[in-house]
Chain A
Amino acid sequence: MVVFDKPHALTDAPMHYCPGCTHGIVHRLVAEVIDELGIEGKTIGVAPVGCSVMAYNYFACDMIEAAHGRAPAVATGVKRADPENHIVFTYQGDGDLASIGMAETVHAAARNENITIIFINNAIYGMTGGQMAPTSLPGQVTQTSPYGRDVKQCGFPIRVCEMLSELDGPEYLERVTVNNVKNIRQAKKAIKKAFQNQIDGKGFSLIEVLSSCPTNWGMTPKAALEWIDERMIPYYPLGVYKDRSAQEAQDK
């Protein structure tokens, strides 16, 4: 009996990501969820600009490559084109979603746009070679913060889930990570809920996934996963930040 294999919703194309990069894990979780929900034939994914720009080669469903930061707007168009028959997700990094595309993110959330967003927070711009991201930690050394992120000079990191949770719009916000098997199981549960919410017409769901970037963090893949525990989770606590349906059920 096969207990584990590549999901159908991933193509056979070898991924271009660096060794130990967790993008591949999150891609697989999304694909497993698409398989389990039986929605590959009606799913349309929107890829960002950043390391996962070529995600369109890896997902077997229809895919669209968006301009930098604009994926939620593109997804809005795709969803509105045929709300009954399109399942739409975006896959975006921290620079894409929380810097250049912040307006599109916030307003899609405020509209409770019935889409699913997978948000990869690895605290750095990977594709361009390791520059400071809106989520880089205070003191974090990057190519454009070579003396460490100085919050007096360039401000503080943005906690996306906490910020969006203040809006009335979004249905579901959860922060997860994929740095060990237990956390991967939880991440998959969250991603599945985010897609199920869309199927049920509940609206905007965003899953923030704390991820590693061994290459640009200058660490081994193993050390990078440990850094998530040691440095990222204290600043970006895991958990559910909004679950409107659950809240409403409780309030009744």
Chain B
Amino acid sequence: MAEKVLMKGNEAIAEAAILAGCRHYFGYPITPQTEIAAYMAKKMPKIGGTFLQAESEVAAINMVYGVASTGMRVMTSSSSPGISLKSEGLSYLAGADLPALVVNVQRGGPGLGGIQPSQSDYFQATRGGGHGDYHMIVLAPASVQEMASLTVKGFELADKYRMTSMILADGTMGQMMEPVSLDFEASQTVEKPWATTGTKMSRPHNIVNSLFLQPDELEKYNFERYERYKRIEETEAMCEEYMMDDAEICVAAFGIAARVSKNAVDEARKMGIKVGLIRPITVWPFPKAAFAKAADKVKAFISVELSMGQMIEDVKLATSCKKPVFLCNRAGGMIPAPEQVLASIKEAAEIGGAN
């Protein structure tokens, strides 16, 4: 067992990124993720890397686009309003099939919103965020350890599938401190013959581009991309199932909401309610199979979210609305207490008859 160190979630992301071979970070200050930038500012110059505070989130994501074009691992991080600004760049990264890692430590919205934790960028993250048909691989950590391990995983998946990986965290995950093991293998490199690193006068020029004026050509690229997305949905979906073996009620929650829900599940079990939890670790691809399987067994679902109810739509889709899906939520930076989740579980048990 590797030695563990006590770290903030944001710092764990930064350190894990460096361990994954990322040597280029571009960011712009925004609460509650600024520790990532501060960590990079300290570390990068000492290891021959680049830390650059950009003039805006828009510039930062385009600097990411530049480094990604050369095939090197690169990242940026921000929080909700900043991710909106980066959305143009996210669409271009998708259109040019470039790998990159983007971290969203979510805060309450819309607008300037607040600085407290939120999960209300779920739609934005899982549906792409910017214009056009595309997806990102979206990883939702629920511990500081996962903030680190999913960062490494995010870089690997981005390279493997030539697309953006997003870490979808929230203010709590970013700020909380937990012991974390940083014993990561240096991840494997992927050949990138498409990268624009100079022709060396030994090959035709490479072009990184998202403009295709011929509609049949553009359609072809969209179809190819969605074939890739299909493979990702089939092979890369991840979730944690907790006490689902005999569950009659299934709680669905990711990130901080899953940690709260786990406590509520434990309490409900003590009361004799057969309840379990499915915690999506990838929210895109959504772990549809786990939910589809559960839909044949349980009597009801509860989606616990720090939003007005966004993931609930994916739960309904994954279960083909076979069973009722209830929402248990807080918004605007508020976090549901275990008691609130427990009350929802009890209510669902009564309506669904699970006892």
Contacts and interface: CB of A to CB of B under 8 A. Distances in A.
A40 B208 contact: no
Given A61-B205, A78-B67, A70 B62 contact: yes
Given A66-B65, A77-B63, A44 B55 contact: no
Contacts of A144: none
Interface in A55-114: 56-57, 59-67, 70, 73-82, 85-87, 103-104, 106-107
A73 B211 contact: no
A82 B59 CA distance: 19
Contacts of A21: none
B24 interface: yes
B58 A70 contact: yes
Nearest to A106: B55
A55 to B, nearest CB: 10
A113 B207 CA distance: 23
A43 interface: yes
B289 interface: no
B71 to A, nearest CB: 8
Contact of B211 (A41, A53, A103, A107): A53
A42 interface: yes
B209 interface: yes
A54 interface: yes
Given A41-B201, A80-B67, A64 B208 contact: yes
B222 interface: no
A65 B70 contact: no
Contact of A86 (B74, B197, B202): B197
B63 A40 contact: no
A67 B64 CA distance: 12
Contacts of A86: 70, 197-198
A41 B69 contact: no
A134 to B, nearest CB: 18
B207 A77 contact: no
B205 A62 contact: yes
A62 B199 contact: yes
B84 interface: no
B196 A64 contact: yes
Size bracket of the B interface:
35 or more
A80 B200 CA distance: 18
Contacts of B196: 44, 62-64, 78
Interface string B89-100: 100100010000
Given A42-B198, A43-B198, A86-B198, A64 B59 contact: no
A73 B198 contact: no
B92 A67 contact: yes
A74 B66 contact: yes
Contact of B70 (A70, A82, A106): A82
Nearest to B93: A67
Contact of B66 (A63, A78, A103): A78
B316 to A, nearest CB: 35
Contacts of A73: 54, 58-60, 62-63, 65-66
Contact of B209 (A56, A78, A79): A56
Contacts of A78: 66-67, 69-70, 196
B49 to A, nearest CB: 9
Interface residues of A, number: 38
B72 interface: yes
B16 to A, nearest CB: 21
Given A64-B209, A80-B24, A41 B58 contact: no
A77 B56 contact: no
Given A62-B205, A65-B207, A82-B70, A103 B56 contact: yes
A77 B209 CA distance: 16
A86 B69 CA distance: 12
A180 B67 CA distance: 39
A46 B205 CA distance: 13
B209 A44 contact: no
A246 to B, nearest CB: 28
Contact of B199 (A41, A54, A64, A70): A41
Contacts of A103: 55-56, 58-59
Nearest to B54: A73
A67 B62 contact: yes
Contact of B206 (A11, A43, A62): A62
Contacts of B116: none
Nearest to A110: B55
Interface in A23-57: 40-44, 46, 53-54, 56-57
A82 B50 CA distance: 10
Contact of A56 (B50, B52, B207): B207
Contacts of B55: 103-104, 106-107
A66 B93 CA distance: 10
Interface of A: 11, 40-44, 46, 53-54, 56-57, 59-67, 70, 73-82, 85-87, 103-104, 106-107
26 contacts: A41-B200, A43-B198, A44-B70, A57-B207, A62-B197, A62-B198, A63-B196, A63-B208, A63-B209, A64-B207, A65-B96, A70-B65, A70-B89, A73-B54, A73-B62, A73-B65, A76-B63, A77-B62, A77-B74, A78-B70, A78-B196, A80-B52, A80-B66, A81-B72, A85-B197, A107-B54
Given A44-B196, A76-B59, A77-B66, 14 more contacts: A57-B207, A64-B65, A64-B69, A64-B208, A65-B210, A65-B211, A70-B59, A76-B52, A76-B63, A77-B63, A77-B65, A77-B74, A79-B66, A107-B55
A-B complex: 3 closest residue pairs judged by Cβ atoms? A77-B66, A73-B62, A62-B196
